[in-house]
């Protein structure tokens, strides 16, 4: 602004000087009053110019001031906006973090529950597997058979603490025992084939069980669909070191309906 004002003044003085010089020629006496007039005019022009410059400077100052204010205001707005944006971002980040924390906690909780459920299921499964067929008594066992040549289990076990063991065979099918009869006969594995053959000879009236008390430890009656029969024996009747099995001696069944009986 100072530069502009200086330039303007210089130009004005130059113009004023030029006016004086232009009137300097000719008679000195005649020229003197003219020169005074010209000087006055030049001074007036200079005053006007100075006033204009001052006005211009003032206007420029106002403009500059306004611009500075605008700039300051804009800068302030930008700072506020930046601050707000930063605040929002921090808020969002905080929210996101909180959400993730919640999710993680939820997931951990779910996993914990799943683990608990799995453990509960496992416990139930173990309890179910270990549970004797007859609720509380580990010395009482249930075996099922249906309208096909198969027992519901091919392995039975009782604790050595049992003095007596009772096995109940239930036929869950519909066929009569003459067509699809089953029994449960416990004996040493080495006796199976001979006992089964002898049983076939003994016939249905004898439940297909021969008179072989030396090797047959226990035997149920022959059952048909919907029937059941139990056999009870002393665990002490089993010989140490002998492998015991149970079979169905109905003709043709013994090689398939066969399971192991062990003492745990």
Which of residues 253, 254, 259, 261 is near Zn ion by CB under 5 A? 253
Strand 244-247 with 185-188, pairing: antiparallel
* CA dist 18 → 11, 49, 209 (Å): 10, 15, 154
143 or 253, CB closer to Zn ion?
Answer: 253
Is residue 182 close enough to count as binding Zn ion by CB under 5 A? yes
Q: Quick one: which segment of 135-143, 209-217, 219-227, 256-264 binds Zn ion (CB under 5 A)?
A: 256-264
165 or 180, CB closer to Zn ion?
Answer: 180
Output the CA torsion sign for 185, 186, 187, 191. positive
Cα Rg, the chain, nearest whole Å: 60
132 or 224, CB closer to Zn ion?
Answer: 224
Alpha-carbon distance of 262 to 264, in angstroms, equals 6
Interacting residues of 125 by C-beta distance below 8 A, sequence separation 6+ = none
Alpha-carbon distance of 209 to 185, in angstroms, equals 8
Q: Quick one: which segment of 64-72, 126-134, 153-161, 182-190 binds Zn ion (CB under 5 A)?
A: 182-190
Is residue 208 close enough to count as binding Zn ion by CB under 5 A? no
* CA dist 196 → 186, 224, 244 (Å): 11, 19, 15
Smallest separation (angstroms) from Zn ion to the CB of 263: 25
82 or 179, CB closer to Zn ion?
Answer: 179
Which of residues 140, 248, 254, 261 is near Zn ion by CB under 5 A? 248
Which of residues 151, 184, 244, 250 is near Zn ion by CB under 5 A? 250
Residues numbered 86 to 145 that lie near Zn ion (CB under 5 A) are none
Q: Which residues in this chain contact Zn ion in the complex, by CB under 5 A?
A: 182, 248, 250, 253, 257
């Amino acid at each position: 602004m100072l530069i502009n004002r200086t330039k303007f003044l210089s130009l004005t003085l130059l113009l004023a000087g030029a006016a004086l010089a232009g009137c300097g020629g000719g008679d000195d006496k005649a020229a003197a009053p003219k020169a005074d007039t010209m000087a006055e005019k030049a001074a007036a022009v200079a005053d006007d110019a100075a006033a204009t410059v001052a006005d211009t400077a003032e206007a420029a100052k106002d403009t500059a001031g306004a611009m500075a204010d605008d700039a300051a205001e804009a800068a302030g707005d930008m700072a506020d906006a930046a601050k707000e944006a930063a605040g929002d971002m921090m808020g969002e980040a905080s929210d996101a973090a909180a959400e993730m924390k919640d999710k993680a906690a939820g997931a951990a909780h779910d996993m914990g529950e799943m683990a608990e459920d799995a453990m509960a299921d496992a416990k139930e499964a173990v309890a179910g597997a270990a549970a004797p067929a007859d609720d509380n008594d580990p010395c009482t066992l249930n075996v099922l058979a249906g309208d096909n040549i198969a027992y519901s289990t091919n392995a039975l076990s009782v604790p050595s603490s049992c003095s007596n063991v009772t096995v109940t065979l239930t036929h869950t099918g519909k066929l009569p025992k003459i067509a699809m009869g089953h029994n449960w006969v416990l004996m040493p594995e080495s006796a199976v084939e001979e006992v089964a053959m002898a049983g076939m000879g003994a016939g249905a009236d004898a439940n297909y069980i021969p008179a072989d008390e030396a090797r047959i430890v226990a035997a149920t009656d022959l059952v048909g669909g919907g029937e059941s029969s139990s056999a009870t024996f002393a665990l002490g009747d089993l010989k140490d070191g002998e492998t015991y099995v149970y079979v169905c001696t109905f003709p043709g069944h013994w090689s398939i309906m066969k399971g192991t009986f062990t003492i745990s």
